[in-house]
Structure formats: structure tokens, C-alpha cells
Structure 1
């Protein structure tokens, strides 16, 4: 079950060309999204990073036909994507010296989210998970909502990329 707020009509994130929005930059397909559509957003110097990442992702979902959602299941799938984006970006802010870039890719069957950061740590769900305690739920949420997730490091480079994959709605 998603916990993100219900979107109002027309609340689809920044419009193309909006002065406050970072432009979508076409990048090569990610490993989990062969030949699919991929968008990239630089986050390194932005303020309000989590809402910016959610708005950017919401606009991609709209452009790819996930939004506006025709059914409750499709709406829940889109809300899950936005929640996972929030958790990955927040985790990078809190534990990884901040996010550098968000990549969102979709091949029609799988939606892949990637957050590149400067941190050396390795994210993992807190165990044992204690639902009633504040904090420490981000990667547990990612694990529960996603088909798969992981961490990719580039040898000789600082930081890492944390990725997560969700099934596209039927």
C-alpha cells in the first residue's frame, strides 16, 4: 500500500521549459532498461532535492502514459514509484553525502530508478525492522515495493549508484 499523497488534476510536476526545473537529458539506456526511455536529472547543487526528484519522476510517468492513471492499480503503481524515488533520494541525503543524479528508465515492462551519490557506505534494510519506531524504514520500503534493488560501484571512482526496479502496470 502506498502512502504518498493523492495528486490533484494538473499536478504533474514541472512543465517542460519551466525555469525552476532541470531539463531532461537523454542518456544511454541503463543496464536494466535495454533500449528503453531514460531520463536524467542532476541533483548535486539543487535545493529541495526530494520534491524536485519526485516532480521530475512524476513528469516522466505522465509522459510515458503511467499518469493520469485509469485504474486504482495503475495509480498505486505510480505512487509506489514516487515513494521509492523519495526513499532513495532521502537515503542519499542522509547517509551518502548527498545525491548527484537521478536516472529514471522504462522499457515498457520494468521501471528502473537509479540514484548516484558520493557516499562510501552500503545501504541495507535495518534489521530487525521495527515498524513502530521512527526512522530506518527507507530501504525496507524499497525492498518491499521493488522487484529488485542493488548497488553498483565504479572501480576507482568515489560514490555509488543505488538502483531499484519496479514492474510497469499491466
Structure 2
């Protein structure tokens, strides 16, 4: 600790320094404006990242389906719905917008993302451990996540004890 103040370790890596990342736990102005549109279409907002390069805005939006995966038509539907709103919010018509799924083995970046992926398989690497724990996300709150193990037993894990977390690809889980 350099400054004498105690610094709490960040749970997960949150991105590049020149990009504004916003997710459910750290809602920025764009997330607050786009989330109702995205949720109105039946999707969950996982993350919104905005960056201005020169005179052009780059906005990346990651969405999740409520019950199923995300396909190209889902991304296209969200893109068409949010682009007009972004043009108004950013007062710019030259905006590059990328809408994508979280990916099949996404690294979870913050505790709030566990709530988005309730029901999904996850791998956890705990502080001081070398072995990954695999289980299904049952519930989460602001302090912890509840994971159901393969034997049906449920375990609570405080976010401060999680070093790394990744969604598990269904094909990988079958191996």
C-alpha cells in the first residue's frame, strides 16, 4: 500500500484505461439510457463500453438472452434499436456500434455479472487455490454468489475470495 490508505482489491479486471466500461454494478449514462431499450426487446445488458477515437465514437454493447443464446439476428435487432438513441445522446451520426454476445467462456468481470448469468455453469478460481471449482450459479447479491456443485450441495463464495471466474462452455462441461 503506497498511500497509507487501505485499498480494496478489485474483484475482476475491468478493461483498458481509455475506454469507459459500464455494467449493472457501475451504471454510466449510456447504460442507463440503453438498458430499457435492450430489456424492452427481451435481452439483458451485460456491458456497455464507449470510446471516442478522433472524431468518431465507438460503442460496444454486450447482451445476453433471457433463456437462450444470442445470434446474429438478436445483435442486429438491438443494433437497429439503440443506434438512433446513441446518435441523439452523443450528438453524432458517425458512430461505430458493435453488439455482441458475452461469448461461451466469458470472464466475469464483476460480482453483478453473476446475477445476469444465474443458471449458467461457471468455473471459479479462489484466492490461494490452484484448482478450479465448477458449478452452477444459483443466486448472487452484492457480497457473494451461491454455486450449486455437481453433488447438489450449495456453497457461498464471497466475491473478495474469487480470483477469477469464467462461464463454462456447455461442450466443455460435457467432456
Greater relative contact order (CA < 8 Å, ≥ 6 in sequence): 1
Question: Higher Cα Rg: structure 1 or 2?
Answer: 2
Q: TM-score, normalised by structure 1?
A: 0.34
Structure ranking higher in strand proportion: 2
TM-score (norm 2): 0.33
